[in-house]
Amino acid sequence: MNKLNNITKKITGMITIMGFAAFVSGSAIAASATGNAVGMVDVSVLNQTNLGLATIMTAGIKTSEQKDLILGVSLECGLYTRTEVAGKKGSKSTSTAEASVEVRVILDKGTLDERYAAPGWVTFCQRTQTLSATLGGVLEQCDVTLTDTDGDLIPDSGGFTSDDCTFSDEDIELILSTMSANHFNFILTDAGTNGSLGHTIDVEAQVSSSDSGETTEGGSYDGAANATIGNGSIVVDEVRLAKDISL
């Protein structure tokens, strides 16, 4: 049984090192994690659609000298986009809706030792939705003008053009709403001890959305977009990365 446990530990260690090596370039990790911390998303920001820039998670960790940090952020990320165009008589309309959630991690925020984990801002989810259409409209009725040209009191010439007809708008609408869980590993090198209090780690998110469009005469457009933050967590591992590693 002890031999089996030793084999299992070796395999687990190999998988861990391979996973980290896929994220960084240079030599493999020199030592495994010796400390960790866990934080959960602040419930006050759940399902916020117009959050702007805000701190969504906070964690703390005490580290040894000459240690680095792997900061794994997991987050549910929801996107909602709606685009609509309408028109008639050959008008062309375009509607665009955009939404995104970006995340970054800060060490010891608000202190002289404040640092941002590499690579800085990371896009957890993003969508740009564009709907464009040229629409003729729905023909309702046409007024025909006839003329008696030979005096026999029987109209024998005339007709109509599109200006003599009534059209109602044709309308196309597209809505997409998705939610997915995403993860990214941030890195901080040479974290240091920061005294007896240890480090604070803040996860910031930036939610943004916009809509725009354009149309020719006779057309119209409308749109809406939102991005939503759901459940999330951060796991911080204290590691020793290879010397002079290049991120």
pLDDT band of residue 91 (cuts 50, 70, 90) is confident
Stretch 97-109: mean pLDDT: 92
Residue 161 above 60 pLDDT?
A: yes
Residue 184 above 70 pLDDT?
A: yes
Region of 218 on the Ramachandran plot (φ > 0 left; ψ -120 to 50 alpha; else beta): left
**Side chain identity at 29, as an amino acid letter?**
I
Compute the distance between CA of residue 181 and CA of residue 85 in angstroms, rounded to an integer.
Answer: 31
**Top-confidence range, 11-25, 45-59, 71-85:** 71-85
Compute the distance between CA of residue 200 and CA of residue 212 in angstroms, rounded to an integer.
Answer: 40
Compute the distance between CA of residue 222 and CA of residue 200 in angstroms, rounded to an integer.
Answer: 44
Residue 195 exposed, middle or buried by CB count within 10 Å (0-12, 13-18, 19+): exposed
Closest C-alpha among 188, 224, 217, 236 to residue 73: 236
* Predicted pLDDT of residue 116: 94
Element containing residue 184 per DSSP (H, E): strand 170-188
pTM of the model: 0.70
Cβ atoms of residues 61 and 35 within 8 Å:
yes
pLDDT band of residue 27 (cuts 50, 70, 90) is very low
**Top-confidence range, 36-50, 84-98, 152-166, 227-241:** 84-98
The contacts of residue 98 (CB under 8 Å, 6+ apart) are: 81, 126, 127, 128, 129, 208, 209, 210, 211, 225
The contacts of residue 79 (CB under 8 Å, 6+ apart) are: 99, 100, 101, 125, 126, 127, 176, 177, 178, 179, 225, 226, 227, 228
Closest C-alpha among 106, 101, 122 to residue 58: 106
Residue 15 above 50 pLDDT?
A: no
Compute the distance between CA of residue 84 and CA of residue 215 in angstroms, rounded to an integer.
Answer: 12
Q: Which residue has the higher pLDDT, 11 or 158?
A: 158
Give the range among 45-49, 61-65, 157-161 with minimum mean pLDDT: 45-49
Stretch 225-244: mean pLDDT: 80
pLDDT band of residue 14 (cuts 50, 70, 90) is very low
pLDDT in tens, 170-183: 888 999 999 899 99
Whole-number mean pLDDT of the chain? 75
Share of the chain above pLDDT 90, in %: 24
* Predicted pLDDT of residue 94: 94
The contacts of residue 89 (CB under 8 Å, 6+ apart) are: 136, 137, 162, 167, 218
**Top-confidence range, 91-100, 148-157, 197-206:** 91-100
Q: Which residue has the higher pLDDT, 77 or 12?
A: 77
Stretch 30-44: mean pLDDT: 47
